[in-house]
């Protein structure tokens, strides 16, 4: 294009595409829509574009591949966005554009075509989202609102599915593939960030209850590593937004190799949800804060229900334990609510350590992924360096970091690893590290060792992460607040990473 005399003012591929389309239109003397179609057949990579036709300024042309595009259907008006949230105040009727589709949009007409210029029928989805769900509702920040919504969002996630009295879990999307999951040689959890941490918790739960080999993969590694995928493998894609590019491509690749794809997704109608064979929505409602909080606990609730259902059907989970765990899960929303009744102690601890240059988060077993999540939350909200580790790993190097300036957070709720965690705490104490511990009521051993404690209710160790993560979320929030940072929109971060 440069050789043809086109001048570029930026390094963005958007500018290149625009000039490419213009060049095609000139050479072929064709309407803009046709030029766009020709261009899109020849470019490589993910895109979402909207063009205004200079000749027909009442016409928009939009298209997508790999990145999300939603069209709101108004009265003599249309709206385009990458997510339904900004549209909801204008209309509840939306069309999710699919990959390789082009939308020609006039105020009173929406035409969808594929790249072969064949008309496609727009499928109109009615949103069940309320405007209030994307407003702060009296909280100072979306992140705080979403942390405090968790008793309700976990309850919403269980509602209509878990019946602890009847001893049933109803999940039609999973039931359709229950036999394949039971027969699977392995389950691969594919996700990024916080959702990847949910996958780690699920690994322990599925292996414990279903006795199926589980692997947890970073989507960005999984998609490029040319992984061995056998027909019948089950991939569980975990994603709040349902638009994370790496996760989406990872499951598309796996699907082509014959794997069964189950989606555990929050945003209804999102790309990952639509790319999955089946799955279960987390029903946490719109999560606006960049840091994922309520989506994480909802992911854990869904994954726990799937594992309970499959383990019981497979026979690796006996009836009594199954009923007991159903009751434990049913009680989680109230237990989360009890933690949120008084957060002053957590706020005080966060403020006490807000100037520490770095922090370590340690846990074992089901609480090891919570340590990782606590470190991620602190990093992304307060910009303090933090690392999560299996507590036993300290001896393999990281303990060299420990001195009186280093806060070490132990996720130390009572479980089958508790005694080991206590001895790890003693190792830190002996080196004058500052110990902050998430514990259960009356844990005298931890109380004797820790400088500060955050107390959560007891629960079966399988359910503990849904409780022990709450102080971690609040710790990050109050630390970011104390440092005067934008806790809803931290620097350098996007809510949904729709590009590589
Ligand atoms: C979590 O607080 C982060 N915002 C980020 O790690 C996030 O979990 C990750 O980008 C995955 O997003 P997804 O769940 O929408 O796929």
In the predicted model, is pLDDT for residue 500 greater than 80?
A: no
Centre of ligand 1 from the C-alpha of residue 496, in Å: 7
Centre of ligand 1 from the C-alpha of residue 269, in Å: 18
In the predicted model, is pLDDT for residue 289 greater than 80?
A: yes
Which tokens go with 220?
């960005």
Centre of ligand 1 from the C-alpha of residue 499, in Å: 13
Q: Which DSSP symbol is given to 410? A: E
Pocket of ligand 1 contains residue 203 by CB under 6 Å:
no
Return the ligand 1 atom nearest residue 496 CA: 15
Residue 468 near residue 215 (C-beta atoms within 8 A): no
Pocket of ligand 1 contains residue 291 by CB under 6 Å:
yes
In the predicted model, is pLDDT for residue 283 greater than 80?
A: yes
Which tokens go with 20?
């490419």
33: which residues sit within 8 A by CB, 6+ positions away? 61, 102, 104
Nearest protein CA to atom 16 of ligand 1, as residue? 239
Q: What percent of the chain has pLDDT over 90?
A: 90
Pocket of ligand 1 contains residue 472 by CB under 6 Å:
no
Pocket of ligand 1 contains residue 244 by CB under 6 Å:
yes
Centre of ligand 1 from the C-alpha of residue 240, in Å: 7
In the predicted model, is pLDDT for residue 67 greater than 90?
A: no
In the predicted model, is pLDDT for residue 138 greater than 90?
A: no
What band does 211 get if pLDDT is binned at 50, 70 and 90? Answer: very high
d(C-alpha 21, C-alpha 23), whole Å: 5
Q: Is the dihedral of CA 124, 129, 130, 134 positive or negative?
A: negative
Predicted TM-score (pTM) of the model is: 0.88
Pocket of ligand 1 contains residue 428 by CB under 6 Å:
no
489, burial (CB in 10 Å: exposed 0-12, middle 13-18, buried 19+): middle
Confidence (pLDDT) at 309? 98
Q: Which DSSP symbol is given to 190? A: E
Q: Are strands 358-363 and 278-281 parallel, antiparallel or unpaired?
A: unpaired
Nearest to 424 by CA among 414, 440, 411: 411
Confidence (pLDDT) at 45? 84
In the predicted model, is pLDDT for residue 261 greater than 80?
A: yes
Q: Supply the Cα-derived Rg of the chain in whole angstroms.
A: 25
What band does 428 get if pLDDT is binned at 50, 70 and 90? Answer: very high
Mutate to test the pocket of ligand 1, among 67, 82, 194 (most ligand atoms within 8 A of CB): 194
Which tokens go with 58?
């009442």
What band does 267 get if pLDDT is binned at 50, 70 and 90? Answer: very high
Nearest to 399 by CA among 427, 373, 376, 368: 427
Confidence (pLDDT) at 46? 85
Nearest protein CA to atom 10 of ligand 1, as residue? 193
What ranges in 29-129 are assigned the alpha helix state H?
A: 32-42
d(C-alpha 279, C-alpha 263), whole Å: 4
In the predicted model, is pLDDT for residue 469 greater than 90?
A: yes
Question: Taking residues 455-476, what's their average pLDDT?
Answer: 98
Pocket of ligand 1 contains residue 496 by CB under 6 Å:
yes
Q: How far apart are the first and last CA of the chain?
A: 26
d(C-alpha 102, C-alpha 60), whole Å: 10
Q: Count how many Cα atoms sit within 13 Å of the Cα of residue 154 in the half-sphere of its side chain.
A: 28
Confidence (pLDDT) at 218? 98
pLDDT tens digit sequence for 392-423: 999 999 999 999 999 999 999 999 999 999 99
pLDDT tens digit sequence for 17-45: 999 999 999 999 999 999 999 999 999 88
What band does 478 get if pLDDT is binned at 50, 70 and 90? Answer: very high
Pocket of ligand 1 contains residue 199 by CB under 6 Å:
no
Q: What percent of the chain has pLDDT over 70?
A: 100
230, burial (CB in 10 Å: exposed 0-12, middle 13-18, buried 19+): exposed
pLDDT tens digit sequence for 306-338: 999 999 999 999 999 999 999 999 999 999 999
Residue 78 near residue 110 (C-beta atoms within 8 A): yes
Pocket of ligand 1 contains residue 271 by CB under 6 Å:
no
Question: In whole numbers, what is the pLDDT of the chain averaged over residues?
Answer: 95
Question: Taking residues 428-437, what's their average pLDDT?
Answer: 95
Return the ligand 1 atom nearest residue 241 CA: 15
324: which residues sit within 8 A by CB, 6+ positions away? 460
Q: Count how many Cα atoms sit within 13 Å of the Cα of residue 56 in the half-sphere of its side chain.
A: 11
Nearest protein CA to atom 6 of ligand 1, as residue? 193
In the predicted model, is pLDDT for residue 171 greater than 90?
A: yes
Question: Taking residues 330-354, what's their average pLDDT?
Answer: 96
């Amino acid at each position: 294009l440069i050789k043809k005399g086109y001048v570029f003012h930026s390094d963005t591929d958007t500018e290149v595409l625009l000039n490419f389309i213009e060049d095609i239109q000139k050479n072929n003397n064709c309407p803009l829509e046709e030029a766009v179609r020709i261009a899109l057949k020849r470019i490589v990579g993910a895109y979402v574009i909207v063009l205004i036709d200079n000749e027909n300024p009442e016409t928009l042309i939009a298209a997508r591949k790999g990145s999300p595009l939603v069209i709101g259907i108004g009265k003599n008006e249309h709206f385009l966005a990458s997510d339904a949230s900004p549209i909801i105040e204008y209309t509840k009727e939306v069309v999710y554009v699919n990959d390789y589709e082009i939308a020609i949009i006039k105020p009173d007409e929406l035409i969808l075509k594929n790249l072969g210029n064949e008309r496609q029928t727009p499928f109109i989805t009615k949103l069940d989202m309320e405007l209030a769900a994307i407003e702060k509702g009296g909280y100072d920040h979306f992140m705080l609102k979403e942390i405090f919504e968790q008793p309700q969002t976990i309850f919403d996630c269980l509602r209509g599915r878990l019946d602890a009295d009847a001893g049933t879990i109803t999940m039609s999307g999973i039931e359709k593939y229950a036999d394949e999951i039971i027969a699977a040689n392995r389950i691969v959890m594919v996700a990024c960030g916080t959702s990847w941490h949910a996958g780690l918790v699920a690994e322990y739960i599925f292996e414990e209850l279903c006795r199926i080999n589980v692997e947890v993969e970073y989507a960005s590694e999984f998609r490029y590593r040319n992984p061995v995928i056998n027909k019948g493998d089950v991939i569980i894609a975990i994603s709040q937004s349902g638009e994370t590019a790496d996760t989406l491509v990872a499951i598309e690749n796996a699907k082509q190799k014959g794997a069964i794809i189950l989606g555990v997704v929050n945003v209804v109608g999102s790309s990952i949800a639509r790319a999955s064979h089946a799955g279960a929505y987390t029903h946490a409602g719109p999560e606006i804060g960049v840091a994922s909080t309520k989506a994480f606990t909802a992911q854990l609730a869904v994954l726990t229900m799937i594992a309970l259902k499959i383990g019981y059907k497979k026979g690796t989970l006996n009836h009594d334990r199954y009923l007991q765990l159903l009751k434990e899960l049913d009680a989680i929303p109230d237990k989360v609510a009890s933690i949120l009744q008084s957060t002053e102690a957590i706020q005080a601890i966060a403020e006490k350590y807000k100037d520490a240059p770095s922090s370590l988060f340690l846990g074992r077993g089901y609480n090891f992924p919570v340590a990782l999540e606590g470190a991620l939350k602190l990093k992304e909200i307060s910009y303090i360096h933090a690392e999560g580790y299996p507590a036993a790993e300290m001896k393999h190097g990281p303990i060299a970091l420990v001195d009186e300036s280093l806060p070490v957070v132990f996720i130390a709720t009572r479980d089958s690893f508790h005694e080991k965690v206590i001895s790890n705490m003693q190792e830190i104490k002996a080196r004058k590290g500052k110990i902050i511990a998430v514990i259960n009521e009356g844990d005298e051993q931890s109380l004797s060792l820790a400088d500060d404690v955050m107390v959560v209710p007891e629960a079966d160790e399988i359910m503990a992460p849904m409780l022990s993560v709450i102080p971690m979320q609040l710790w990050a929030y109050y630390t970011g607040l104390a440092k005067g940072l934008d806790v809803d929109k931290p620097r350098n971060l996007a809510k949904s990473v729709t590009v590589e």
